[in-house]
Amino acid sequence: MTHRLPLRIYYEDTDLAGIVYYANYLKFIERGRSEWVREMGIDQAAMKRDEGVVFAVRRVEADYHSPAKYDDEVVVTTQVEAVTGARLIVKQTVERDGDVLFSALVTIVAINEAGAPARLPAAFRRNLH
């Protein structure tokens, strides 16, 4: 299953050259993951409150292929690549008209309130299939 989040590039997303500032792609893919989890019916605030577990990004491997520019309409895609008991790897892209502008493999881990590794919540794992 691939989740898709449409976004428009605003002036605030760009640098002096009018192209998306490189760090903003990380914000875009974070929004994509947040909306994907929300659409699965997972309330991350309740998960923290009830289970003491939150998600944290452990690793990002990113490639910048082509720049997005002011007023572009782009789509952030999120797709599961691998799941273990405590780790999730997702492939994310930012695309414009089907062309990949940015791609990343993101490793997400579950951690408890002390910052130690925790198992991915069962409700979350169930929703991945």
Give ∠ CA 99-93-96 in degrees, rounded to 5: 30
CA distances from 55 to 37, 69, 116 (A): 11, 31, 11
Q: Sign of torsion, CA 56 62 77 20? A: positive
Nearest by Cα to 102 from 36, 37, 26: 26
Q: Which residue among 13, 15, 43, 99 is the active-site one?
A: 15
15 classed as catalytic? yes
Catalytic amino acids?
15
